[in-house]
């Protein structure tokens, strides 16, 4: 499960067996977890994050989308 980056308490990562899914990023903080699609940036799922924190996470994903896409494409070869 490659970690792409950390921003504050958040870890941004994807699982190495997810090449069959559209590009996305998982975000974890403690026991909270969210998943965002990258094209376009939209929330796919969330466990225990508040709506306010999800809005913050969406902004972080938007700001770093190009980096996430580059790493996704390099890792999965697409």
Q: Of 47, 32, 23, 6, which is closest to residue 15 (Cα–Cα)? A: 23
- pLDDT, tens only, 9-67: 999 999 988 888 999 999 999 999 999 999 999 999 999 999 999 999 999 999 999 99
The pLDDT of residue 1: 72
Tell me what pLDDT residue 78 has. Answer: 63
pTM attached to this predicted model: 0.94
| 17 token code pair | 């067996």
Can you tell me the distance from the alpha carbon of 28 to that of 33, in angstroms, rounded to the nearest whole number?
A: 5
Q: What confidence tier does 77 reach under pLDDT thresholds 50, 70, 90? A: confident
pLDDT at residue 57, rounded to an integer:
98
Instruction: Specify the DSSP element, H or E, that contains 55.
Output: helix 51-76
Q: Give residue for tokens 């980096």.
A: 67
What angle is formed at CA 72 by the lines to CA 74 and CA 76, rounded to 5 degrees?
A: 60
């Amino acid at each position: 499960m490659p970690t792409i980056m950390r921003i504050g308490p958040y870890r941004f990562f994807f699982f190495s067996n997810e090449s069959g899914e559209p590009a996305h990023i998982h975000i974890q903080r403690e026991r909270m977890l969210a998943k965002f699609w990258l094209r376009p940036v939209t929330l796919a799922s969330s466990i225990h994050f508040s709506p306010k924190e999800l809005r913050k996470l969406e902004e972080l994903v938007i700001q770093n989308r190009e980096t996430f896409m580059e790493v996704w494409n390099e890792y999965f070869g697409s």
